[in-house]
Amino acid sequence: MAEKTIPHFQNDVGVSVIHTGAKEFMCIGASPPFDHPHEFLDMGADDEIICPYCSTLYRYDPKLAAGESEPPECLWTGGPADLETARTGPAR
């Protein structure tokens, strides 16, 4: 079984629309530790979707790759370890 990476997006900059090349992704709201529950969003046949937690509007842009966004800083590049560290602080 092939693994598929699901891109994660956040809206720290507070834009009204995030354009993405992915139709399936996770919205985390803001960067940890201020993130909301990570919501899997699937646009299906539509070209836009609103996150039910933070009301960010995501709009599909076929010119972008699946792991890209406009503005580019809305792509969360941290991984699970980064999320845990942001919540609990660095290991001592």
Tokens 């972008």, residue located:
64
Q: Is the pLDDT of residue 4 over 80?
A: no
Higher pLDDT, 88 or 53: 53
| pLDDT bucket at 2, cuts 50 / 70 / 90 | low
Report the alpha-carbon distance of residue 51 to residue 56 in Å, rounded.
5
Contact between 82 and 15 (Cβ < 8 Å): no
The pLDDT of residue 29: 96
Q: Is the pLDDT of residue 90 over 50?
A: no
Q: Is the pLDDT of residue 86 over 90?
A: no
CA distances from 37 to 18, 28, 52 (A): 18, 6, 10
Give pLDDT tens digits for 31-82. 999 999 999 999 999 999 999 999 999 999 999 999 999 999 999 988 655 5
